[in-house]
């Protein structure tokens, strides 16, 4: 088994020197490889980038958990590169992933280069990102030099005719980009909205669509003159546009691009934040595994509150439920951050002060309100939502036995099979099998029409909602015959773990029941047309949860 360990300082310095080189160029605009498929909407460049598709192909062939595995595009990769799946590069990547070459790190590394030859770097990382990434790469480098890895990538690209594959997908890529441009052009300019709120702009803003990527990443790259180029790397498909799709896209933008504003300022003013480091020991177990230090937690607090406020202003609708969801996720001080940025907005409006100019006030206000109470510590030890947190460490999905309940195979199983195939740590069993299992040590996800899932029936008495043939009663009474609800509660057998429930009036109504944009809050009422009719956070989380 390959173990990760620290390596010597000289190697770390060598890595830093190698990654800090810039290619010579007359301009400072972000330059994609020649074959990139791109378009523009206002201040935003939208592209599918060969560098990241080369990375995605390698990750797919190596069996990496960093990419999705289903769909026509994945099938095209499997067909074209089938003869190359045993290339030595695949084992090398698997070894590197064991030592931390995962999530945003490989994405950020490949984007430093000019093109898929991976020979010249045009950009560097923003300083705070560089420090963290070089430390991570110091662990990865025990598998061999990065130059050797990039040589293997070049060899693979040549032997497999990656350029030919990319050209073969050109129509598909072009449509993905054009669909996104069309959707963005139909809405107010997201980037202009964000720039106006912060009070200053970066050198460029770039949406890179990568059809197999899981999650979203926001690397900030710096040109040789110090200009910041902000990126949002995500899979977004606008071919069947809906309001829910656009809201998801806007959330990606506001979050990932906000990192390019917040991270440098947190680093610059770290002396104002570092005294709160003891808090990290209390909250780290509640946090996502990627939040590995007080520094990261501070930056994530400020990014999340900014993206939340940008959404509120863009959609002209304040939503306290999302803030409560952040608190339930361990971001206990986010209300203090919210109050601070509301004060910033007043200063910005009255005096024209920009975000960077007001940041010390934000930091001081935030830090003055970071003392943990006994109630906070108790809160951290229990599952308190939102839905997203049920899925943090994988789940046991329980569905009605198709031999007992008709319609399960066509209306429920496609969703469950996709989740198991594409999400790490997910397992699915029928409700009949689950009756004989110990469910107290697992996060649970229960699927099935009301009355059809035997496990959901066992817990029926604690459900805070009612479902009838023509009505769903939650925070209010919703009339209709195509209604469903998604919600989370503590696992009744272990309140430290979560349970997510997807149920509906009928089994047919369960089709694509998790296809709505959801997760930052505790509950969502929707219909089979994928319209969200209501959402929010539960109250009374120390007792029986209620609307």
Axis crossing angle, helix 127-140 with helix 9-19, rounded to the nearest 10: 130
Residue ranges covered by each domain of the chain: 9-23+30-186+200-234, 269-380, 387-536
Structure tokens at 127: 């300083």
pTM: 0.77
* Model pLDDT, residue 3: 39
* Model pLDDT, residue 511: 94
Q: Quick one: how far is CA 176 from the chain centroid?
A: 20
**Residue 135 to residue 133: CA distance in whole angstroms:** 5
Q: Is the dihedral of CA 324, 129, 217, 213 positive or negative?
A: negative
A 10 A CB-CB count for 285 gives 10
* Model pLDDT, residue 216: 87
Q: Which residues contact 27 (CB under 8 A, 6 or more apart)?
A: none
**Residue 415 to residue 482: CA distance in whole angstroms:** 18
Q: Which residues contact 20 (CB under 8 A, 6 or more apart)?
A: 121, 124, 130
Phi, then psi, of 399 in degrees rounded to 5: -125, 160
Q: Which long-range contacts (CB under 8 A, 24 or more apart) does 290-295 make?
A: 290/103, 295/266, 295/270
**Residue 73 to residue 326: CA distance in whole angstroms:** 34
- Secondary structure (3-state) at 533: strand
Strand partners, 450: none
Please list the pLDDT of the chain residue by residue as tens digits (547 residues): 343 433 333 333 334 444 433 333 444 444 334 578 999 999 999 999 999 999 999 999 999 999 998 889 999 999 999 999 999 999 999 999 999 999 999 999 999 999 999 999 999 998 888 988 999 999 999 999 999 999 999 999 999 999 999 999 999 999 999 999 999 999 999 999 999 999 999 999 999 999 999 888 989 999 999 999 999 999 988 888 777 778 888 988 999 999 999 999 999 999 999 999 988 888 887 776 668 899 999 999 999 999 999 999 999 998 887 898 888 888 999 999 999 999 999 999 999 999 999 999 999 999 999 988 888 777 777 898 899 989 877 899 999 999 999 999 999 999 999 889 888 789 999 999 999 999 999 999 999 999 999 999 999 999 999 999 999 999 999 999 999 999 999 999 999 899 999 999 999 999 998 888 888 899 999 999 989 999 999 988 888 899 9
* CATH 1.10.357 describes domain 387-536: no
């Amino acid at each position: 088994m390959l173990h990760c360990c620290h390596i010597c300082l000289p190697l770390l310095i060598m890595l830093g020197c190698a990654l800090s080189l810039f290619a010579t160029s007359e301009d400072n605009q972000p330059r994609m490889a020649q074959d990139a498929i791109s378009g523009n909407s206002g201040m935003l460049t939208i592209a599918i980038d060969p560098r990241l598709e080369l990375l995605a192909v390698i990750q797919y062939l190596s069996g990496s958990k960093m990419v999705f595995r289903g769909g026509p595009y994945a099938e095209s990769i499997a067909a074209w590169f089938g003869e190359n799946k045993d290339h030595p590069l695949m084992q090398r990547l698997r070894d590197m992933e064991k030592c931390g070459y995962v999530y945003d790190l490989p994405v950020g590394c490949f984007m430093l280069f000019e093109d898929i030859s991976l020979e010249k770097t045009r950009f560097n990382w923003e300083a705070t990102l560089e420090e963290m990434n070089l430390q991570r790469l110091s662990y990865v480098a025990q598998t061999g030099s990065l130059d050797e890895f990039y040589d293997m990538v070049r060899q693979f690209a040549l032997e497999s005719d990656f350029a030919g594959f990319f050209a073969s997908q050109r129509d598909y890529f072009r449509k993905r980009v054009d669909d996104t441009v069309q959707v963005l052009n139909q809405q107010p300019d997201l980037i202009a909205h964000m720039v106006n709120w912060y009070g200053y702009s970066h050198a460029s803003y770039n949406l890179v669509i990568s059809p197999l990527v899981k999650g979203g990443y926001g690397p900030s790259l710096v040109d040789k003159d110090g200009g910041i180029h902000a990126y949002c790397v995500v899979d977004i498909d606008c071919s069947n546009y809906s309001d829910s799709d656009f809201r998801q896209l806007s959330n990606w933008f506001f979050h990932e691009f906000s990192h390019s504003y917040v991270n440098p300022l947190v680093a610059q003013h770290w002396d104002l934040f570092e005294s709160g480091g003891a808090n990290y020991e209390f909250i780290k177990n509640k946090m996502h595994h990627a939040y590995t230090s007080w520094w990261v937690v501070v930056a994530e607090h400020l990014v999340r509150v900014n993206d939340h406020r940008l959404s509120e202003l863009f959609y002209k609708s304040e939503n306290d439920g999302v803030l409560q969801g952040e608190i339930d996720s361990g971001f206990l001080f986010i209300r203090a951050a919210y109050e601070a940025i509301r004060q910033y907005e007043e200063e910005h409006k009255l005096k024209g002060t920009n975000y960077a100019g007001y940041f010390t006030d934000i930091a001081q206000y935030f830090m003055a309100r970071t003392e943990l109470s006994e109630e906070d510590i108790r809160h951290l030890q229990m599952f308190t939502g939102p839905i997203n947190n049920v899925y943090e460490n994988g789940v046991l999905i329980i569905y009605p036995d198709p031999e007992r309940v008709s319609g399960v195979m066509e209306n429920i199983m496609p969703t469950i099979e996709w989740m198991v195939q594409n999400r790490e740590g997910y397992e699915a069993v029928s409700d009949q099998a689950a009756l004989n299992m110990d469910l107290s040590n697992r996060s649970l996800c229960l699927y099935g029409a009301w009355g059809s899932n035997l496990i959901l029936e066992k817990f029926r008495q604690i459900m805070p909602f009612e479902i009838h043939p023509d009505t769903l009663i939650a925070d209010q009474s919703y009339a209709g015959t195509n209604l469903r609800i998604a919600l989370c509660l503590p696992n009744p057998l272990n309140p430290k773990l979560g349970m997510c429930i997807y149920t509906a009036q009928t089994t047919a109504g369960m089709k694509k029941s998790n296809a709505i944009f959801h997760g930052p809050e505790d509950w969502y009422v929707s219909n089979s047309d994928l319209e969200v009719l209501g959402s929010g956070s539960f109250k009374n989380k120390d007792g029986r949860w209620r609307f």
